[in-house]
Amino acid sequence: MRFVQLAGMLLFLVANWVFSGERDFARHNEFLFRAFDRHQTITKPLCTLRYQDVVQRIKAIHKKYPMRLQIESVGKSVLGRKLWVMKFGRGKKHIFLWSQIHGNEPTGTAVLLDVFDLLVREKEQPFVTKIWNGATIWAIPMLNPDGAEKREQRNAQGLDIDLDAFDLQTSEGRVLKAVYE
């Protein structure tokens, strides 16, 4: 129940955009908030969440639901760790999410894994089917794995990836821009 509110809010915002103009959207809220009790993928304390834990979870979800979740390594961090993107859906509206641009902020990573777990497991739910058909969601759950391993905000170069949007001195920043484009 740790991330129910955050994950629920994220999916609520995504669904609100996908379902814009539909009158029956509100009836999906009950399913949404009940469902996250069953889809908490990270059960260990966040302060111990490591890169390998995230990679194992991404691969485990993909292995169980390869037709619902696509994964791809889209580049590497400064220290050579693979940066993974997850893709769900086939709709025309594209949504791009990323997390842990600061290595010491793992909450969003856990939320993204919970959201994607819910989306692939609950494929028969009308709420999820509408998202699948209405949107394509792309997510990089851990953009700064080198910082995450050391529990530091900055990457292995000592740079804040968040402030690197224009200079693109970091490999992680270049990957983020390439995936977005």
Beta bridge partners of 86: 71, 139
pLDDT tens digits, residue range 25-77?
A: 556 666 666 666 666 666 666 667 899 999 999 999 999 999 999 999 999 99
Q: What's the mean pLDDT in 110-119?
A: 88
Per-residue pLDDT at 136 exceeds 50:
yes
Q: What is the largest CA-CA distance in the chain?
A: 50
Alpha carbon distance 181, 77 (integer Å): 19
DSSP symbol at 70: E
Torsion (CA) 28, 33, 37, 43 in degrees, nearest 10: 120
Mean pLDDT, rounded, of the chain: 85
| Tokens 């993974």 sit on residue | 84
> pLDDT at position 10, please?
64
> pLDDT at position 24, please?
58
CATH number of domain containing 73: 3.40.630.10
Query: Confidence band (pLDDT; 50, 70, 90) for 2?
Result: very low
> pLDDT at position 78, please?
97
18 or 60: which leads in pLDDT: 60
Range of the domain at 52: 4-180
39 or 80: which leads in pLDDT: 80
Per-residue pLDDT at 8 exceeds 60:
no
pLDDT tens digits, residue range 87-109?
A: 999 999 999 999 999 999 998 89
Percent of the chain with pLDDT over 90: 55
Query: Confidence band (pLDDT; 50, 70, 90) for 181?
Result: confident
Beta bridge partners of 84: 73
Alpha carbon of 41 to those of 44, 120, 161, 174: distances in Å? 9, 13, 26, 29
For the chain, the domain total comes to 1
